[in-house]
Amino acid sequence: MGCLCEEIFGRDAELSSLCIGNLWVFQNLRPEEYGALAQRAVRKVHEQGGSIFIQGDPAETMFLIKAGRVKLTKSMEDGTEITLDIRKAGDFLGENMLSEEIDYPVTAWCMEKTLICGFTKVSFERIVLDYPNIGLQVIRNLSSRIASLTDRVGSMSLSTLEDRLHSVLANVARDHGSRSPSGLVIQFPLTHEDLSFLVGAHRVSITRAMKNLRESGRIIQRGRTLTLPVEMSQNL
């Protein structure tokens, strides 16, 4: 039998090679436990521009992005919307569901047609009741994941805005871009508003910093495509 995700999204689609049971949050499970996760997972397709969940909604779903790309945004009290992160196929969302009765702190928007595969809170609790070791391993894996959050803070300590912006672009290129002979390529649009919130600087300052990075050769911009040259990305 073929992959259920292929049957739903299309056999010619670019799907993540990861399956729901192979995620970091489910590491070190037994074969029968992996099988239970795959069998009980729910798959759903979201169109470009649609939301998977909305800030303030009850956190009731966690899922793997099997195909597509998702932008996480947060609405502020003054009505502005800030971009916090971009997730790609192979990334996992909704860990908040594992906490007690909380709401989603952000909104997940689909930047392109997206396929998700995951669980509701009720369905996952039923699996844990049937397979208690899954719950134990999830707790252990979540604890070890906390250390990775320090990476996002590190770039903020860099001395200049250009360095911080270049670090953010390098992280985005490494996680979401592609490699080419000329360097790491970001092939989807990132607005200066998006970058201002990812870096923590005013949009006007981002515009100036982007200009300086282009003039110094640290990035190459052609239309909406950004490239970090080979010599600038060898250590990424």
pLDDT in tens, 157-166: 556 888 888 9
The residues pairing with 220 across neighbouring beta strands, listed in sequence order, are: 227
Of the candidate ranges 44-48, 92-96, 152-156, the one whose mean pLDDT is the lowest: 152-156
pLDDT at 5 over 80: no
Q: What's the CATH number where 212 sits?
A: 1.10.10.10
106 and 173 inside one domain: no
Instruction: Return the percentage of the chain with pLDDT > 70, whole number.
Output: 86
The residue among 97, 127, 151 that closes a domain is: 151
Instruction: State the pLDDT at residue 1.
Output: 43
pLDDT at 156 over 70: no
20 and 114 inside one domain: yes
User: Which residue segment(s) compose the domain that 16 sits in?
Assistant: 4-151
Reported pTM: 0.61
Instruction: State the pLDDT at residue 12.
Output: 65
Count the domains in the chain: 2
134 and 211 inside one domain: no
Which whole-number Å values give the CA distances from 104 to 29, 65, 72, 74, 135, in the listed order? 27, 17, 11, 10, 21
- Cα separation, 63 vs 41, in Å, equals 9
141 and 172 inside one domain: no
pLDDT at 134 over 90: yes
212 and 195 inside one domain: yes
Instruction: State the pLDDT at residue 3.
Output: 64
The residue among 104, 124, 151 that closes a domain is: 151
Mean pLDDT of the chain: 83
Q: Are the C-beta atoms of 147 and 73 separated by less than 8 Å?
A: no
Tell which residue, 191, 208, 185, has the closest CA to residue 73: 191
pLDDT band, residue 92 (cuts 50/70/90):
confident
Of residues 97 and 12, more confidently modeled: 97
141 and 42 inside one domain: yes
114 and 191 inside one domain: no
Instruction: State the pLDDT at residue 204.
Output: 85
123 and 49 inside one domain: yes
99 and 127 inside one domain: yes
Give the largest CA-CA distance in the chain.
59
Tell me the residue type at 236: L
22 and 116 inside one domain: yes
172 and 87 inside one domain: no
The residue among 126, 151, 176 that closes a domain is: 151
Q: Are the C-beta atoms of 195 and 208 separated by less than 8 Å?
A: no
**pLDDT, tens digit (0-9, with 9 covering 90-100), for 171-229:** 888 877 888 888 999 887 777 767 876 777 777 888 999 999 999 999 999 887 899 99
Instruction: State the pLDDT at residue 190.
Output: 77
pLDDT band, residue 128 (cuts 50/70/90):
very high
Q: What's the CATH number where 25 sits?
A: 2.60.120.10
